[in-house]
Amino acid sequence: MDADSVASIEGNLIRNHADKNIIKILSISSSPAVKEGANFLSIVDRVKITVLRQSGRKEKISLIIKKTPKEEGRQAFVVESGAFKREIMIYTRVLHSMEKLMVEFDDNEGKLWCDLVAFNPYDEIVFEDLMGIGFKMTESRHDFLNLDHSILVMQALGRFHALSKVLIKKRIIEPNEFAPHFVLGNPKNTEMVFVHCLKGFGRHVKSWGTEWVQIGNIFIDYASRLATDCEKIGKAPEGSNLIVMNHGDVWTCNILFKYSRYSQAPIDLRFIDFQLCHYNTAGYDLTYFLFGSVNPQVRRAHYDLLLNVYVHEMKTTAAIYGLPSEQLPEIDDLKADIKRILPFRLVTTFFFRPLFVSRFPFDMEAIVTNVEMVESIGQDINMLSDPNFKEKSEDDLKEIGAELAEVLRSSP
């Protein structure tokens, strides 16, 4: 770590830990905080520091430092998307306001995020290290989540979304302050990143066997309207009881769990990486999580249960803050919303899911610099035939294919 970085960290520690009387850094070391492939829009390091306090005592501190990526294409993508600026805004305004609300209303359930320590606009953010208080990622990012983990996440999403609805009612969150999800708000990026990958995906699916030829052709035919349809559903419907502040990137690597020491069952969690937060219906976070990270067999067998957990927690949290029940969605509302945002469900299933669970490499730099619109660039074709993706996704892809066929038939 260079001298400027050490000086910056030292200054931040002294300013933000004044109550601990830190006066000097004695030693510092850093290492990657996440495994390769676990974070695509940032460089994330764990920094371990030994500091000297005014009392003469030495103390060890661990921090997480997130920086913009070095690769030119990824860096440009991050800057254009405003990811770091948005995350800083979320922590300093939205999450801070949620914490104040919790104190005001004696809500002792606890927060769902880590502490912000410092930031440098808009290319560096320093957080507390959640590992220091017992939170960690799942054993492998390639594994779908089981029912216990999924229930805990749905409960946390219900609470987070309810808190956001309180802030929306108080006008602390305004609709025009947060851009749509990057899949939805920029047709050029949608075209560059997803449309051509969908064409390549459709061609590959046709190689899975005779029954897949028609489905593959449906994906190829639909690709030409994906960007337009994504832009349409990216506009938040006015007056909907489904409107929340979405986390925007709820997948396995952006959730840290705490486990029971006896049973090893998950008992608590923290969300991280608020770079893609956006104002829209709750169906976006639910679709992204349920169709991207939950074991598809678990989701199918327990779909109503998982949505019930979400609704129950949203209502329970909202009641603490006096939010009327008519301003909250029911399960049927959520199901309809997830069905409505079919283009996003398609992208989550064919693009993000293999990215999350396949063991084959993914080249984000190639994807975000695909100015020549090359099909499937950045995707190792083997990732689409990885049994961890293919065998567990076939039923979903057939259902989505049938829905898209109906869309194509009904379009002029």
Same domain, 144 and 45: no
Question: Does some domain include residue 126?
Answer: no
The predicted-structure confidence for 251-279, as pLDDT tens digits, reads as follows 999 999 999 999 999 999 999 999 999 99
Question: Does some domain include residue 158?
Answer: yes
pLDDT of residue 309: 98
Same domain, 157 and 45: no
Question: Does some domain include residue 205?
Answer: yes
pLDDT at 340 over 80: yes
pLDDT range class, residue 192, cuts 50, 70, 90: confident
Same domain, 48 and 101: no
Same domain, 106 and 58: no
The predicted-structure confidence for 17-36, as pLDDT tens digits, reads as follows 555 677 788 888 889 887 76
Same domain, 7 and 149: no
pLDDT range class, residue 376, cuts 50, 70, 90: low
What is the C-alpha to C-alpha distance for residues 343 and 264, in angstroms, rounded to an integer? Answer: 37
Give the residue, 122 or 309, on which the prediction is more confident.
309
Percent of the chain at pLDDT above 70? 89
Same domain, 367 and 243: yes
Same domain, 61 and 109: no
**CATH code of 14's domain:** 3.30.360
**CATH code of 141's domain:** 3.90.1200
Q: Single out the residue in 37, 53, 69 at which a domain terminates.
A: 69
pLDDT at 365 over 90: no
Question: Does some domain include residue 122?
Answer: no
pLDDT of residue 405: 97
pLDDT range class, residue 9, cuts 50, 70, 90: low
Question: Does some domain include residue 182?
Answer: yes
Please state the domain count of the chain. Answer: 2
Same domain, 40 and 146: no
Question: Does some domain include residue 201?
Answer: yes
To the nearest whole number, what is the mean pLDDT of the chain?
A: 89
Q: Single out the residue in 48, 69, 90 at which a domain terminates.
A: 69
Secondary structure of the chain in HEC code, one letter for each residue:
CCHHHHHHHHHHHHHHCHHHCEEEEEEEEEEECCCCCCCCCCEEEEEEEEEEECCCCEEEEEEEEEECCCCHHHHHHHHHHCHHHHHHHHHHHHHHHHHHHHHHCCCCCCCCCCCEEEEECCCEEEEECHHHHCCECCCCCCCCECHHHHHHHHHHHHHHHHHHHHHHHCCCCCHHHCCCCCCCCCHHHHHHHHHHHHHHHHHHHHHHCHHHHHHHHHHHHHHHHHHHHHHHHCCCCCCCCCEEEECCCCCHHHEEEEECCCCCCEEEEEECCCCCCEEEECHHHHHHHHHHCECHHHHHHCHHHHHHHHHHHHHHHHHHCCCCHHHCCCHHHHHHHHHHCHHHHHHHHHHHHHHHHCCCCECHHHHHCCCCCCCCCCECCHHHHCHHHHHHHHHHHHHHHHHHHHHHHHCC
Question: Does some domain include residue 121?
Answer: no
Closest CA to 76 of 178, 235, 188, 175: 188
pLDDT at 363 over 80: no
Same domain, 195 and 63: no
Mean pLDDT of 310-334: 96
Give the residue, 82 or 206, on which the prediction is more confident.
206
pLDDT at 380 over 90: no
Same domain, 84 and 64: no
Give the residue, 113 or 193, on which the prediction is more confident.
113
pLDDT range class, residue 189, cuts 50, 70, 90: confident
pLDDT of residue 39: 64
Same domain, 21 and 153: no
Question: Does some domain include residue 284?
Answer: yes
Same domain, 44 and 86: no
Q: Single out the residue in 69, 100, 124 at which a domain terminates.
A: 69
Q: Which two tokens stand for residue 88?
A: 């800083």
Range of the domain at 7: 3-69
pLDDT at 73 over 90: no
pLDDT at 87 over 90: yes
Lowest mean pLDDT among 76-90, 226-240, 339-353: 76-90
